[in-house]
Structure 1
Amino acid sequence: MRTNEFACAELPPGESYHRLGRTSRFRWWTTPLALAGFAVLLFFLWMAILLAVTIVAIVEGSGLAPDSVRISEIAQLAFGLLSSALLIPIVLFVVRVVQWRRVGSLMSVAGRVRWGWLAVCTAAAVLPVALGVAAFLPLARVVQPGLVPHQGAGGTEVFAAAMAVVLVLVPFQSAAEEITLRGLVMQMVGALGARPGERGGDSAVARVLRSPGPSVLAGGTLFAALYLATHPGDLWTTAALVVMGLGAAWLTWRTGGLEAAIALHTVNSLVQFTLCVFEDRLSEIGTGAVVGAGLPLGAGSPLVLLLTTSQVGLYTLGVVWLARRRGVRRTSADTPR
């Protein structure tokens, strides 16, 4: 009896991805409590990152850092990626402890990461990303030659150290942003609509909240809104972030999980950060010039919107086709798990 009483909620049966947060444990106060818990944990994360950056700056200024490797820029790159990656344990804590449901419900309608499908989506992302890079180079030379990548002067040691950081941390950074935006945000919005038969469940508001539209809109535009607030003049990148975010959110709903969004974000970010390292532009990472949100090349120019729209469109068509052929589930099982 005690085990059943305190066990976390299972996947709700027969629900789309955005509705998996509406478990048997859901109450009206679950969402505001989850938001408060997330905010508190995020505050302590920022304090820890700020302390770490301060320590590195002190070490560099003391003369203890070797001159041959610019430890400050590489450390800032690592801290920037790590600060995003650490959203993963924060979100999982909120889901498991505050919302009191299994963390697998955040990953997909299967209640887990579908690793085979993630691998397929990652392979599918390579072609649109490669085509985007191939299209960017000739277009940039005509429209804005300054955007064309060029060999930097960072040196082999700096390049190797920075690439090690990128290869290790970028997949976690990309997954963390998708788990937060397309995972937690979409499911919190989707959980607001009461089920038919529940109190208020037959109202027009409940029907709208149960539909995927509000969840896709929230999960797809939140990051773009935050970016616009901090970079009000960069409308091209903001528009591209909206396209990328809405595409990832829609695919998450359409395929019943985060795998497709994580795959495209990861492949794009690896290309973006690798070129930044190649060009010796480490200091620009995290600024308006380089956005760690899975965008293709050309941030801050019309090219980024053109490439993002083409890339997301091509990837979406490919993923939907593959999902149909593979019979990827879009809803949870009809019986509670």
Structure 2
Amino acid sequence: MGNVPPPPGSSWPAAPEGPQGRAYDGYPQEQDWAGPPGGGRLTPPGGQPAVSAEASVWAWPPPRPVRTNEFASAGLPEGEPYHRLGRNSRFRWWTPLLSLLVFGILLVFLWIGILLAITIVAVIGGSGLAPDSMTVGEVAGLAFGLAPTALLIPIVLFVVRVVQWRRVGTLMSVDGRLRWRWLFRCMTAAVVPVGACLVAFLFLVDSLAPGAVPVRETGGAEVFAAAVVVIVLLVPFQAAAEELTVRGLIMQLVGSLGAGPGERRGRSAASRVLRSPGTAVLAGGTLVPVLYAATHPEDPWVTSSLTVMGLGMAWLTWRTGGVEAAIGLHVVSSLVQFLLTAYEGRLSEVGTGAVLGAGLPPAGGTPLGLALTAVQVGAYVLGVTWLAGRGGVRRASARARR
């Protein structure tokens, strides 16, 4: 952009008179009067190098003003644990309420979409439109049982990014991203307790929980192979979606309610309780058991197992500063649970409450299932806590350098 005289009628002052205003081949000999504000160096063709301009000397056209993005997403709060990452610079008192409202509306649309998809598949398969006559195959029923939970991932990310106006990485960990290496280490560590509980179940089921494994036909090798493909493709997303929703969104919503120590109401007893990790862990660990108990009051053993699993994963999420540890156990345990369900020929029970996607050990609904859950969760929590301490896994967001 060249330096040219200001247009007629401009409020900019004219070029100074004297030697500095004389032109040489159409350019000023001395261009300090037309240099950029704040200093600069301009050398006209065939002229002498221009001297640096003072900050008060004008230039034409004027420099473009620096713009700030008022709609930029909020970053990580400094030095905060995982459950407090939702209380950032863009947090308002109504943010949790609006988040729950939008989440509920999107869930309704998801439910309608799943019903429409089931209807289309049933009609293509030859079923009638009456609810009693509408049926789908076992493999399709398995997919429809897993897909609604897996589709919670885009819903949760939408709420975080658009409603709460923060980066989706703040939902993953205190590092502002999903720590993939740590996730794979947690999944590897989960193989040991999950495998041990599976072996213990096979040895103890006949004596302690007879009838826990019904003998049924698998439907043939083709059905079993198709079910394995669906399970391997969908279960990791289903497990991750549950953890991002319950241990992620819910824990951070509860943790964001309490005012910080430096805020006006931060010293009140209510704020101290709401911002404490215990409140967030209790909310993230008991939400699913409470919902299950409300819909299945006849299964107290399953409710107890879900409580043990939920509280362990919620505490581990706070302790390791992210959802990777909870996702790791959930994925491995759910893969074993659903593969065993397909092998036993119980695919029709997926999504009905008899087969849960919470990653519980086998023999759910029995005292043996509760004992296996306690052993599995306890061993995993101890192992991952040791790995996190040895590997230096961050528990709180970094503080800005001063």
TM range (shorter): over 0.9
State the identity %: 66
1:176 aligns with 2:247: no
* Matching residue of 1:265: 330
Q: Matches of 1:304 and 1:55 in 2, distance apart?
A: 38
Q: Matches of 1:2 and 1:194 in 2, distance apart?
A: 31
* Matching residue of 2:102: 37
Between structures 1 and 2, the one with greater helix share: 1
Matched residue type, 1:102:
R
Q: CA deviation at 1:149?
A: 6.6
What per-residue deviation string (whole Å, max 9, x for no partner) do you get for residues 263-287 of structure 1?
0000000000001111111001112
TM-score, normalised by the number of residues in structure 1 = 0.95
* Matching residue of 2:154: 89
Q: Matches of 1:273 and 1:246 in 2, distance apart?
A: 22
1:50 aligns with 2:111: no
Q: Matches of 2:127 and 2:287 in 1, distance apart?
A: 41
Q: Matches of 1:304 and 1:199 in 2, distance apart?
A: 48
* Matching residue of 1:66: none
* Matching residue of 1:318: 383
Q: Matches of 1:313 and 1:227 in 2, distance apart?
A: 22
| Structure-to-structure mapping, 1:94-133, within 5 angstroms | 94-133=159-198
Runs (5+) with no aligned partner, structure 2: 1-65, 129-134
1:199 counterpart SS class:
coil
Q: Matches of 2:144 and 2:347 in 1, distance apart?
A: 12
Q: Does the aligned pair in 1 maintain the 2:313–2:326 contact within 8 Å?
A: yes
Matched residue type, 1:27:
R
Matched residue type, 2:206:
R
For 1:144, which of 187, 209, 230 is the aligned residue?
209
Q: CA deviation at 1:299?
A: 1.2
* Matching residue of 2:218: 153
1:247 aligns with 2:328: no
Q: CA deviation at 1:145?
A: 2.2
Q: Matches of 2:278 and 2:169 in 1, distance apart?
A: 23
What per-residue deviation string (whole Å, max 9, x for no partner) do you get for residues 270-321 of structure 1?
0000011111110011123211111111111111110000100000000000
Q: Matches of 1:296 and 1:71 in 2, distance apart?
A: 28
* Matching residue of 1:299: 364
Q: Matches of 2:214 and 2:178 in 1, distance apart?
A: 36
* Matching residue of 2:398: 333
Q: CA deviation at 1:174?
A: 0.1
For 1:9, which of 63, 74, 79 is the aligned residue?
74
The answer to which of 204-213 and 84-93 deviates more is 204-213
1:325 counterpart SS class:
helix
Q: Matches of 1:153 and 1:326 in 2, distance apart?
A: 44
Greater relative contact order structure (CA < 8 Å, 6+ sep): 1
Matched residue type, 2:353:
G
Q: Matches of 1:287 and 1:184 in 2, distance apart?
A: 25
Q: Matches of 2:275 and 2:164 in 1, distance apart?
A: 18
The answer to which of 143-152 and 252-261 deviates more is 143-152
Larger Rg: 2
For 2:292, which of 198, 207, 227 is the aligned residue?
227
Q: Does the aligned pair in 2 maintain the 1:288–1:300 contact within 8 Å?
A: no
Q: Matches of 1:167 and 1:153 in 2, distance apart?
A: 17
Distance 1:287 1:192, change over 3 A: same
Q: CA deviation at 1:144?
A: 2.2
Q: Does the aligned pair in 1 maintain the 2:209–2:368 contact within 8 Å?
A: no
Q: Matches of 2:209 and 2:290 in 1, distance apart?
A: 26
Q: Could you say what the CA RMSD is over the residues aligned between the two structures, in angstroms?
A: 1.5
Q: Does the aligned pair in 1 maintain the 2:99–2:163 contact within 8 Å?
A: yes
